[in-house]
Amino acid sequence: MKNCRFGVFGFPVSHSLSPAMHTAAFNALGMTDCEYKAYAVEPENLKEAILKAQAEGFGGLNLTIPLKEKIFETDLIIPDAFAEKAGAVNTLTFKDGRIYGYNTDAAGAFAALEEAGCQTDGKKILIVGAGGASKSISLFFAERGNSVKIINRTAEKAQRLADEIAEKTGNSNVSGSGFESGWNDLKEADIIIQTTELGMGKYEDVSLFDKLPLLKTEQKEEMIRSCVSKKTVFDIVYNPEETTFLKESKAAGAETMNGMMMLVFQGALAFEIWTGKKPDIGVMRKAVSDALL
Binding site for ligand ATR (CB under 6 A): 129-134, 152-154, 157, 195-198, 211
CB nearest ligand ATR: which residue? 131
**Strands, DSSP E only, in 131-173?**
147-151
| Cα distance between residue 119 and residue 97, in whole Å | 40
CB of 134 to ligand ATR, least distance (A): 6
CB of 109 to ligand ATR, least distance (A): 12
CB of 246 to ligand ATR, least distance (A): 16
Measured from the CB atom, is 49 or 127 closer to ligand ATR? 127
Measured from the CB atom, is 86 or 133 closer to ligand ATR? 133
Q: Is 68 a catalytic residue?
A: yes
Q: Taking Cα atoms as reference points, which of 286, 283, 275, 195 lies closest to residue 243?
A: 195
Q: Taking Cα atoms as reference points, which of 188, 182, 230 lies closest to residue 208?
A: 182
User: Parallel, antiparallel, or unpaired for β 78-79 and 34-40?
Assistant: unpaired
State the helix-helix crossing angle for 18-28 and 281-292, rounded to 10 degrees: 140
CB neighbour burial string for 50-84, b if at least 16 within 10 angstroms, e if fewer: beebbeeebbbbbbbeebbbbbbebebbebbebbb
CB of 114 to ligand ATR, least distance (A): 22
Say which of 47, 68, 135, 230 is annotated catalytic.
Answer: 68
Task: Specify the DSSP class assigned to residue 190.
Answer: S
| DSSP labels, 218-284 | GGHHHHHHHHHTTSEEEE----SSPPHHHHHHHHTT-EEE-THHHHHHHHHHHHHHHHSS---HHHH
Q: Taking Cα atoms as reference points, which of 162, 164, 146 lies closest to residue 154?
A: 162
Q: Taking Cα atoms as reference points, which of 238, 250, 269 lies closest to residue 111?
A: 269
CB-CB neighbours of 25 under 10 Å: 25
User: Parallel, antiparallel, or unpaired for β 60-63 and 4-10?
Assistant: parallel
CB of 10 to ligand ATR, least distance (A): 12
CB 125 within 8 A of CB 142: no
CB of 262 to ligand ATR, least distance (A): 13
Indicate the helix (H) or strand (E) that contains 286: helix 281-292
Measured from the CB atom, is 23 or 243 closer to ligand ATR? 243
Report, as residue numbers or ranges, the catalytic residues.
68
